[in-house]
Structure 1
């Protein structure tokens, strides 16, 4: 007797639900312990399963970590995209500030996911060869880099404060975007400077190094930092917070 047409979809839904439960359990354990390390035995115990049963869903720990990394990048990209959508599309300065605030907000709300993708590399972890985690990272980071492209297309991208580009950085620009990049090497360099500044502030705050400041002072410092970054990078300067 042939199976019912609904049998396979129901089985697939059940498998997808279990995979999601495994990932959510792993994240919950990370949050509980304040770490990004996780073991199959601990996940299985929390789910009332046997460790070998988990291997029906993930080949090993690296495959699970890769799935969590991909989810985290997608979540960060979605957060930034939604924030950008809330400001006028033709206001590049406001869009940059909204994107930066979303990046900072997400890191504060999801410290384990933030650490998983943008913290110290996990010991003995090997990224998948198919590049899916790198592709997820590219999609998330494109929410920031695309602002430079949009500013150039609108004629609003000024020369960055630092125009000298080391040949090695130029090679990185060609490797990343090819010889027909939408931005010049000096703006590729400015993109990296902007991200490094945003990430540096966010990481310092996420790790408690600004806890001695009141929240209003941290917000003001962040707003000023992003305005400075925009000015140095050649982007339209966003309004003060």
Structure 2
């Protein structure tokens, strides 16, 4: 009985390891330089490779950026899902606060990845339509909307404080409800968007240094009250 050749699996493992090293190096350079404007020459230099050698692993800079963006969204999605699922399913308000804190914590721990996916658009880069970046973004962002869906299905969601909804948002709510287990009222759909906007706004201000004049304890308290106010405005119960 012959022994199956092992060279192909070894090559595949070596290739996968090199791809991961390229991505780690790219993220490290983004952190060092404070920008997502990657250059293959810089990555190759840091890895003691030639720039043309990188094209064996990524077709171009945009392909590498797409992988990094998908990875960042997946990391964010995993972080907030882990925080949410650490609390009982019936603790809707507690889960929302946990998601909010996890979103903020991830942005503080991974500022360059946060900027990569939720900061200014990268010059010259266009994400592929319906590609891995879109799928990863939808998975990450659905962690917050799932809380509203679960609360609504369980009868734990009160009407939001703002009930007036523009017709275009009514149409968006109807379209999105087709993919959900329960129909989302237009005012709740609007509240979901407002909740994410409110959390993201605070986190962005903090990430880019606009709250640096407040000490850390003050920022922590301010964010906690901000998240609680956001939940109350959206109709989420805070037990």
Which segment is superposed worse, 173-182 or 87-96?
173-182
Shift in Å, 1:177: 3.7
- In 1, the alpha carbon distance for the partners of 2:26 and 2:91 equals 40
Q: Deviations over 1:129-157 (max 9, x none)?
A: 34221110110011100000110111110
Match in the other structure for 1:153: 153
Listed as ranges, the matches of 1:1-241 within 5 Å are 4-178=4-178, 182-237=183-238
Shift in Å, 1:35: 1.2
Q: 1:176 to 1:5 in 2, by over 3 A?
A: farther
Shift in Å, 1:3: 9.3
Shift in Å, 1:4: 4.0
| Count of residues in correspondence between the two structures | 237
TM-score normalised per structure 1: 0.94
- In 2, the alpha carbon distance for the partners of 1:172 and 1:45 equals 47
Q: Deviations over 1:194-224 (max 9, x none)?
A: 0000000000000111111111111111011
Which segment is superposed worse, 39-48 or 85-94?
85-94
TM-score normalised per structure 2: 0.95
Unaligned runs of 5+ in 2: none
Q: Deviations over 1:17-68 (max 9, x none)?
A: 0000000000000000111111001001111111111011000110000000
Q: 1:228 to 1:21 in 2, by over 3 A?
A: same
Shift in Å, 1:237: 2.4
Q: 1:106 to 1:179 in 2, by over 3 A?
A: closer
Aligned-partner SS, 1:87: coil
- In 2, the alpha carbon distance for the partners of 1:61 and 1:177 equals 36
- In 2, the alpha carbon distance for the partners of 1:42 and 1:137 equals 28
Which segment is superposed worse, 149-158 or 64-73?
149-158
Aligned-partner SS, 2:36: coil
Shift in Å, 1:175: 3.7
